[in-house]
Amino acid sequence: MVEINASGTYYKELNQKVREAVEKGEKEIVLKNVNGQYYIGDGLRGSSTIVIEGVPGNDLAAFMDGPTLRIKSNAQDNISNTMNSGKVIVEGNAGDVLGYGMRGGKLHIRGDVGYRVGIHMKGNKKQTPTIVVGGTAGDFFGEYMAGGVLILLGLDSTGPLVGDYLGTGMHGGTIFVRGEVDKKLCGAEVGILDLDDDDQKVLKDALTDYCKDFGLKLEDIMKKGFKKLIPVSSRPYGNLYAY
Amino acid sequence: MNHNYQKDISGCGLTGLISRKRRRISGSEIVKSLCLMTDRGNGLGAGYAAYGIYPEFKDFYAFHIMYDEPSVKRSVEEYLKANYHIEKIEEIPTRAVKAIPISPMLVRYFVSPLKEKLSGDQQETDFVVNTVMKVNSEIDGAYIFSSGKNMGAFKGVGNPSEIAEFFRIDEYEGYIWTAHTRFPTNTPGWWGGAHPFTLLDWSIVHNGEISSYGINKRYLEMYGYKLTLLTDTEVAAYLLDLLIRRHGLSIPVACLALASPFWKNIDQRDAGEKEVLTALRQTYGSALLNGPFSILFGHSNGLVGINDRIKLRPLVAAVKDDVTYMASEESAIRAICPQPEKVWAPRAGEPVIVNLED
pLDDT in the model for residue A236: 66
pLDDT for B5 beyond 60:
no
Look at chain B and report how many structural domains it folds into: 1
Residue B219 to residue B221: CA distance in whole angstroms: 5
pLDDT digits (tens, 9 = 90+) for B184-208: 877 788 899 999 999 999 999 999 9
The phi, psi pair for A85, rounded to 5°, reads -160, 170
Q: In percent, how much of chain B has pLDDT > 90?
A: 89
Q: How confident is the model at residue A183 (pLDDT cuts 50, 70, 90)?
A: very high
At A176, which CATH number? Answer: 2.160.20.60
Determine, yes or no, domain membership for A241. Answer: no
If we measure between CA atoms, which residue out of A114, A181, A125 comes closest to residue A148? A125
In a domain, A240, yes or no: no
CB contact under 8 Å between A138 and B39, yes or no, is: no
**Which string of DSSP letters, residue by residue, matches B70-113?**
HHHHHHHHHHHHHHEEEEEEEEPP----TT-----EEEEEEEEE
Q: How far is B166 from B161, CA to CA, in rounded Å?
A: 8
The confidence score (pLDDT) of residue B6 equals: 43
Contacts of B310 in chain A (CB under 8 A): 115, 139-140
Backbone angles phi, psi at B142, to 5 degrees: -130, 130
Of the pLDDT bands very low, low, confident and very high (cuts 50, 70, 90), residue B8 is very low
- Taking only residues 30 to 49 of chain B, the set having a beta carbon closer than 8 angstroms to any beta carbon of chain A reads 36-37, 39
Q: What is the mean pLDDT of residues B305-315?
A: 95
The shares of helix, strand and coil residues in chain B, as percent rounded to the nearest 5, are 35, 30, 40
CB B177 within 8 A of CB B170: no
Is the CB of residue B77 less than 8 Å from the CB of residue B220?
A: no
* Average predicted confidence (pLDDT) for chain B: 94
pLDDT of B121 over the 70 cut: yes
Over residues A73-93, the mean pLDDT reads 98
* Domain contains A120: yes
Res. B301 pLDDT band, cuts 50 70 90: very high
The amino acid at residue A37 is: Q
Q: Does B345 touch chain A (CB under 8 A)?
A: yes
d(CA A118, CA A100): 6
Residue B7 lies in a domain: no
Q: Which amino acid would we find at residue B157?
A: V
Distance CA B7, CA B220 (A): 27
How many percent of chain A have pLDDT more than 90?
91
Q: Is residue B8 part of a domain?
A: no
pLDDT beyond 80 at A136: yes
Confidence at residue B69, expressed as pLDDT on a 0 to 100 scale? 87
Domain count, chain A: 1
DSSP string, B304-322: EEEE-TT--S--EEEEETT
The enclosing H or E element of B239 equals: helix B233-240
- A140 interface with B at CB cutoff 8 Å: yes
Range of the domain at A131: 2-231
Q: Which of B180, B245, B145, B199 is nearest to B14 (CA)?
A: B180
B5 belongs to a structural domain: no
Alpha carbon separation from B20 to A212, B11, B210, B321 (Å, rounded) = 43, 30, 30, 9
The pLDDT confidence band at residue A234, using thresholds 50, 70 and 90, is: low
Average pLDDT over residues A35-64: 97
Q: Is B311 at the interface with chain A, CB within 8 A?
A: yes
Whether residue B3 has pLDDT greater than 60 = no
Residue B95 counted as domain residue: yes
Q: Has residue B6 been placed in a domain?
A: no
In a domain, A66, yes or no: yes
Contact B148/B300 with Cβ under 8 angstroms?
yes
| Distance, CA of B201 to CA of B61 (rounded, Å) | 9
Crossing angle of helices B233-240 and B251-258, in 10° steps, is 140
Could you say which of A36, A93, A114 has the minimum Cβ distance to residue B329? A36
CATH code of the domain in which B34 resides: 3.60.20.10
Q: How far apart are CA A109 and CA B296, in angstroms?
A: 29
Residue B270 lies in a domain: yes
A51 is a domain residue: yes
Asked if B96 is an interface residue toward chain A (Cβ–Cβ < 8 A), one would say no
Q: Which B residues 286-305 touch A at CB under 8 Å?
A: none
Cα nearest neighbour of A12 on chain B? B39
CA–CA dist B240, B254 (Å, integer): 7
Give the domain extent around B65: 13-355
What pLDDT score was predicted for residue B9?
42
Asked whether residue B4 is assigned to any structural domain, the reply reads no
- Walk across the sheet containing A226-231 and list its strands: A2-5, A28-35, A49-55, A65-71, A85-90, A106-109, A130-133, A146-152, A172-178, A226-231, A190-193
Q: What is the pLDDT, as a whole number, of residue A103?
A: 96
Task: Enumerate the residues of chain B whose CB falls inside 8 A of the CB of residue A54.
Answer: 334
B236/A contact by beta carbon, under 8 A: no
